[in-house]
Structures are given as structure tokens and as C-alpha cells.
Structure 1
Amino acid sequence: MDGSEDTEILPAAVLSGAPIELQARTVRIYQPSKPATQSGTWGAHHWRMDWDILPKGHRWENPLMGWQSSGDFMQGTRLEFKSKDEAIRFAEKQGYEYFVQEPNTRAFTPKAYANNFLYTPKKLKLVRAK
């Protein structure tokens, strides 16, 4: 965007002088999932915005250690917002193209330990130890 487009909001990148490479990037807005190592959902209440990886890659292998290196200056950058609407408003204000990735909802079925001992009219199952 160069400021000549007919939009309600003037993108901040037009006034800030940000490089074209940053203005043309697409951002992803999503709600992070619960970590597999934790049982709580504390970190999953906010929304996150990060930049997609560059289409050409701009990656190479570091000859000293063999690690992957990148020339992408936005690679590890992410922003956190309290709501999805705040993240969308910020992306529109900056003039970024964005897409929203909706979170998957978990199906929770309440269970009780006592249900393991309820009587069900089925054929009696014989269990032999030896």
C-alpha cells in the first residue's frame, strides 16, 4: 500500500517509512493452543500475531555449526493482544494483509469415577488369572 488506495484507515506504514518488504508481508492472527506439558489453560487466553515466512526462504546453512540461518528480520517476532478484535484492528491500522486462524474447541465430557462400578445388564465376563 502506498497511501493512494481508497480506504477508511490510512496505514501507519505509509507515514512511518517502513520498508516495502515489511509492508507486503502477511500476518497470521491466532490463539495459541494449550502446551502439551501443562494441564492448565493459562497461556491460551490471549491472541497472537506473527509474520508468515518469506516465500523464497532466505535461509542458508551456517558452515561453522551446521545450523539453519535466516535473513528474515521478522522471523522470531510476535505480538500478543487481549482479543481477536484488537489484533485485527492493529493489522488494519498498520496496513498488513492478515488472516485469522480460529482455535479448535475441545470437547469436554464430564466423567465420574463411580461410573466404573455401575451395573449394566450384559453377559458376565470371566477373567482368568492363570
Structure 2
Amino acid sequence: MTARIYKPARTAMQSGTAKTDRWLLEYEPERPREIEPLMGWTASGDMNSQVKLWFDSEAEAVAYATRNGIAFRVERPNEPKRRAMAYADNFKYGRMGQWTH
């Protein structure tokens, strides 16, 4: 039973950085999901796949996993490739670069 500790990325529907500052501990599935023959739903007997534990820092998540004897791996987040800029920055007085129409 291995756990994954990571900092979730923002969804495509988010423009801000809300809910991206906390760390998440999730268990990896022990066996693949099965298709239920009667209804065709996807089923799983693995109850640990439903557990999500949130932590304020990476150190807290690692400490929890080691304290409870959970094997884990830490995935560090990638840095964003562009800087956040407000729409109003396009019109500020000291703007660097040419304004083209």
C-alpha cells in the first residue's frame, strides 16, 4: 500500500491560485478497477482509494506517513512557466514593450 504525497495543480476552470497551497496524501490503487457485469459501472473493492488527507505542508504529510508506517513517494510541483499578470498591467504608464493594435 503506497501513498502519493503531492501538491495538486489548479484545475482548468480556475484562474487564481486558490486551493493549491496545501499538500494531499492519496493512496495508489492496489488493483485495477473492474466493470460490473449487471449495470456496467466501474467498481473497486479498494477502500483506501477513497481516502484523501490534506496537510498544510509537505513536512507534515511526510511525518504522518512515517509515523503510521505508510510507504510513500513525494511529487514536487513544477514551477509555472509564465508569471501572473493582471489585465490592468496592459495599460499602466511604465509598461515595457510596444503597444500594438
TM-score bin (small chain): 0.7 to 0.9
Structure with bigger gyration radius? 1
Count of residue correspondences: 92
Cα deviation per residue 1:86-117 (whole Å; 9 max; x = unaligned)? 00000000001111000011023466536442
- Pick from 24, 40, 44 the counterpart of residue 20 of structure 2: 44
Task: Report the TM-score when normalising by structure 1.
Answer: 0.63
Alpha-carbon distance in structure 1 between the residues aligned to 2:27 and 2:84: 38
- Pick from 41, 49, 66 the counterpart of residue 75 of structure 1: 49
Alpha-carbon distance in structure 2 between the residues aligned to 1:75 and 1:27: 10
Alpha-carbon distance in structure 2 between the residues aligned to 1:30 and 1:104: 11
Q: In structure 2, the residue corresponding to 1:41 is in which secondary structure? A: coil
Cα deviation per residue 1:8-30 (whole Å; 9 max; x = unaligned)? xxxxxxxxxxxxxxxxx111000
CA root-mean-square deviation = 1.9
**Aligned counterpart, 1:117:** 99
**Aligned counterpart, 1:93:** 67
Structure 1: 4+ residue segments shifted above 2 A? 107-118
Task: Report the TM-score when normalising by structure 2.
Answer: 0.80
**Aligned counterpart, 2:94:** none
Q: Flag structure 1 segments of 5+ consecutive residues without an equivalent.
A: 1-24, 119-130
Amino acid at match of 2:28: D
